[in-house]
């Protein structure tokens, strides 16, 4: 499976930016102000092509399918209450977004977990809820070094 990774990263960045607009400013951290979102917004992106040459897996015959590649559509919902939605995103991508838009720095200490898929629905800035989910629901070890540094590893 080959997806347009740069487009996915931009999509995640857009999601975080939209959600961060509603978060209270973190003390001591200078974040770029974003416009207020007054209503829900839906953005649709072309996230590339899934190259898959086995139409038989979908109960189709090769003679019935002109092109077995599939378009990948990504959706971004920006909600005025400032919610973050991660849907089957790699742990590395999720951590990158948290590090970019919050004062908390998360380090992945075990390279073997970078590609783990993560999902959830969180209030912007609620890093404790994200870390709790990573620990309880995704089986990751979460070591809080101090208020601004967290290490993630396999249990």
Give the domain CATH number at 98.
Answer: 3.55.50.30
Model confidence at 1: pLDDT above 50: no
Residue 151: φ, ψ to 5° = -105, 135
The residue count of the chain comes to 155
Q: Which residue has the higher pLDDT, 113 or 26?
A: 113
The percentage of residues in the chain with a pLDDT greater than 90, rounded to a whole number, is 24
> What is the pLDDT, as a whole number, of residue 3?
45
How confident is the model over 42-54, as a mean pLDDT? 83
Please answer whether residues 43 and 76 qualify as being in contact, where contact means their C-beta atoms are separated by less than 8 angstroms: yes
- State mean pLDDT over 35-61: 81
CA gap 137, 118 in Å, rounded: 10
Domain count along the chain: 1
Give the predicted TM-score (pTM) of the model.
Answer: 0.52
Work out the burial of residue 2: count CB atoms within 10 Å of its CB; fewer than 13 is exposed, 13-18 middle, 19 or more buried: exposed
pLDDT recorded at residue 140: 95
Query: What does the alpha-carbon distance between residue 82 and residue 135 come to, in Å, rounded to a whole number?
Result: 23
* pLDDT tens-digit map of 115-155: 999 888 787 778 899 999 999 988 999 999 999 999 999 98
Q: Which domain holds residue 28?
A: 5-154
In whole angstroms, give the CA distance from residue 48 to residue 68.
Answer: 14
Which residues is 118 bridged to in the sheet? 89
């Amino acid at each position: 499976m080959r997806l347009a990774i740069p487009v996915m990263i931009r999509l995640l960045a857009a999601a975080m930016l939209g959600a961060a607009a509603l978060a209270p400013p973190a003390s001591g951290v200078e974040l770029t102000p974003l416009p207020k979102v007054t209503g829900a917004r839906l953005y649709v992106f072309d996230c590339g092509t899934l190259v898959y040459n086995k139409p038989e897996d979908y109960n189709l015959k090769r003679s019935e399918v002109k092109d077995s590649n599939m378009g990948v559509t990504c959706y971004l919902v920006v909600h005025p209450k400032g919610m973050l939605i991660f849907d089957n995103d790699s742990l590395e991508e999720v951590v990158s977004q948290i590090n970019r838009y919050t004062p908390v720095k998360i380090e992945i200490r075990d390279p073997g977990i970078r590609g783990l898929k993560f999902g959830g629905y969180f209030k912007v800035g609620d890093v404790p809820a994200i870390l709790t989910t990573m620990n309880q629901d995704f089986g990751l070890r979460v070591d809080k070094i101090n208020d601004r540094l967290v290490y993630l590893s396999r249990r």
